[in-house]
Every structure is written in C-alpha cells, then in structure tokens.
Structure 1
Amino acid sequence: MATTQVEGFLGGQTLKWGKHRRIKIGKVLRNFHCRTCDTQRTFVSGDELSCLGLGDNQISIDATLQCIECRSSVEIWFLIGSNDDISGVAPEVRIERYTENLRDRADRIDGHRGPFSDLVKRAQLAYENQLGAGSIVYLRKIFELVTFEVAEIAEIEIKKNNGKNIPFAVVLEKVNEVRNIIPRRFSSNGYQLFRELSDIIHGESSEEEALQKYRPCLQLVLGVVDEVSRDNEYARAIEELGWDVKSISEIAGGSVA
C-alpha cells in the first residue's frame, strides 16, 4: 500500500494500546447519495475525531459524518498503519482498511442500485472485510434470485412433481432459452459462473483466491442483473409505443432488431 508523509497528529506522545484520544487533523469529507435528500451530498465530520491506539505502528480513527443539508449521519472507520513510530513528528502513514456504516441513510456514489442493491452492498462489505467466501455467498444468492424470479414470470417450473427442486442448471438453461438473461459474451458458459461461485463457497478455493475472484464474479453477476433490467426496459418501451408484440420473449429472443 502507498504511504504518505503527514504532519504529526499525536503531539509526539505515544497512544498506548486500547487508549482513546480526541485528535484534530481537519474535517473528513465524503460524498454519498443521501437517501433523505435523494441526491448526491457531501457528508462532513466534526472538528475532532476519535482515535484508538493499537500499538506503536497502528491507530484506529472513527468519525461520524453528517449530510450538509439534512443532517443525516453515517459512520466511517480507518485503520491507519506506519512502518515507523506513528506518533512521530512526520510519520509516513497508509490506510490499511476502510469501512463504512451507512445505516440505510446513504449509498456510495458508485454503488449498484436496483432490486438487488442490498445484497450487492453486503457482498462488497464482506469483501472489504477480507471475507472471501462470505462475499461470494451473496453473489450466488443474487444469481439464484434473478434466475428464479424470471422463471416465475416466464411460468417455468422450478420444482418437480414430488416437490423437490429442479437442478439449477436445468432451470437456468430453460430461463435463458426464453429470456436471454445471460449476456451473450458468455452465454455458453452461464452455468460455469454458478459452478465457480459454488466451488468457492464449498471450500474449493482458499480465502485469498476467493478475494481475487470476487471482482470478476461481481461483474458477471451484475451483467446478468443488467441484462434482465434491459429486458424490462425494452418491454416498457414497446408497450408505450403501442407495437403489436405478443410477448417479451419475442424481443429478448432477438426477433426485433
């Protein structure tokens, strides 16, 4: 991680492990999508921040930030590390970990929005806390939910006559035949994505490998969600234009250019 030299903020006094201190290092500002204001806002901290000592080379900084407009509050946390004594006159520091508690009051500007945004948020939070398999659990859940929801809309059976679930691979294939939920770039490997997610969850990959695979798996899962969203947008557009199309499957199947 990159380090940056900063002016000493502990007054040259070591902050012992487990001890708190209020420090003044300027205000912390972060831009979020404020849910109350329903727009992007700057959230700002107070003049003092809470600092917790974790040894000679690490400290924890907690901050409460408020929306400058409606005063909704969120919490953020930094783990700050240094190769040398962090209480020095000009320590070189780095952010080793950063976590947010937005408490359903705000969203990241670059965060995914839509029907599965909560699961995406949980997956991202697990990833940021170095929980590889945990983050993948949420991605597989999104993949399953979007597939089963489309299956219900398309009246595709997901259970056998005896009440047991039909294998997911079979359901996915049937769903994709009528709704094309798998982006075309990897439509021939749609089930491979689910198998990849499942193998990670079942311990076929180490936590380090799971963390490395998180981002590409996230992009592929969100690709499926976006494909379904576009399908619905096409349906609304056709309906608004009053075209005589019998079903959305005609659009999703590519019969309309």
Structure 2
Amino acid sequence: METSLTPWDGALVALATRHGKEREIAPPLFGVGLVTRVVALDTDRFGTFAGEVPRQGSARDTVLAKARAGLIAAGLPRGVASEGTLGPYPDLPVLTYDHELIGFVDVELGLVVVEEAMSFETVVASTRARVGDDLTRFLQRVDFPAQGLIVRRGDGDLGDLVKGIVTLEQLKDALFRISGISTDGEVVIETDQRAHLCPTRRTVIREAADRLAQRLACRCPSCSCPGFGLLEHESGLPCRACGAETSLDRAIVEGCSRCGERIRTPIASLADPTQCAFCNP
C-alpha cells in the first residue's frame, strides 16, 4: 500500500446534502485535493430518521445512491454523501449506537469507496408528554436547544409531526398543536437526528470523513488507484482453549475497488476463552 499525492489537485466533488454536512466533510476532502460543491438535493427521498419515508435497501446502497445522485445533479464526475443508522447495537441491543457511512464515487477513475465510523455517544432519546408537563429534565438530558427536537402524535400516526424544533416557543406550539390532533391527547418528543440539528452525530460524520480522506491518500500497490483500504473483516478467530471459532476477527482484507487487488492479513493471536461461546456460554 502506497501513500502519496492524490490525482485530484483542486477537482470538484459534489456533496448531496441539505443538512449542513459540508462543515464536517469538506475540510478532510480538501486535504486530499478535493473541493466540495454542495448540491441541495432532496436527500429525504432516500429515507428519513423520523420514519415517514422508509429507507429502501442497505445503508451502503443508500449512501452510494446519494453520492451518484449528487454528481449527476451537479454535472460532475465525482460525488460524496453520508448516511447514518441509529439503533440497537447488534452485539448488545440494550445500547444504542450511531453507525455513519460516507461514500465516494469517481466515475472517471472507476472508483467507489465507502468508509465508516461508529459511536455510542450520539444523543438519541424520547419521552411521552401532555400539555403542561414539566420537560425540564428531558431537555437538559438531550442538551436542548443545541440538539433539535421532533414532536409527533402519541397514538402512533406518522401523518403529523413537527421537525426542527430549537426554541421553547416552537416546542410549546408543537406540543399544543400535535396533542390536539392525537387521539390519546399525548405526544412523543424525540431528538431530531438530522445532522444540522444533532451535534453529537456531526462528530461521528467528521470521523468518517477523516477516514475517507486517509483512505483516498492510499494508492493500490497493483494499479496505483487511490482508495486502497479495508474491504472486510473475516470472523472466526479460534479460541485459545478449545479451538472453536469465535465472533472475533481472524483476518482483515484490504483491497482496491477498481482492479480487484486484495491483501489478506491473518490475526496473529488466539481468542481469549471469555470470548468463546463454548468455554463461556
């Protein structure tokens, strides 16, 4: 793997966003010669955190679809986008985690790169309320108004909701209006996870952008195309005590998305028995 100057040197890349993600994504990309041009694309059509528009396909498919839609809309050969997923952590569902992907497409080079970052620190919270309830503790817990809010009906109907709440007056108005049309008279107040209203999520997007920039600075040892890096983790590291396969990585695979070069690096160790489903059921 070779680290060297990139081939872009001031080339434009389209960023599909309406939520201010250029603040997190543009600086790292500038460091590898890419100048970001924001495309105010309606990215809500790819899915929304509030759930009124379900995401179609995987997060990876979605982030690349956003990047391609942005470059087409801008008339550029390069596009970048990010896509976040917030939900229960697969290995420990009681924890909520934020998984951010950032995808880069260069049609001139035939290059497709996806990087990621993850955090358990992103603020995700909700509470049920009625008009007149004391919300002080909830608002302090989510760091309102730095963290924006959504108010939706308490009866589960997704047809009426108010997003982008960042003042107490907006919150009171939304609470009064939505509770009045909810059949149970209650509302659900939840964190607005869109990037421009979620500071803790923006931190994770920046981390993913930094990783993308680092990867774009790495050239393939076979074809010299930028973007050489991690492709997958191979699980199944043997247990040190019984030899059974565990969920830990037994190897990492790095490669090039253009020429298909792959380098597999085995993990030179064995898993502790505490990580084994047989030794520690």
TM-score range, shorter chain: under 0.3
RCO higher in 1 or 2 (8 Å CA, sep ≥ 6)? 2
* Structure (1/2) with the larger helix percentage: 1
| TM-score, length basis structure 1 | 0.26
* Structure (1/2) with the larger strand percentage: 2
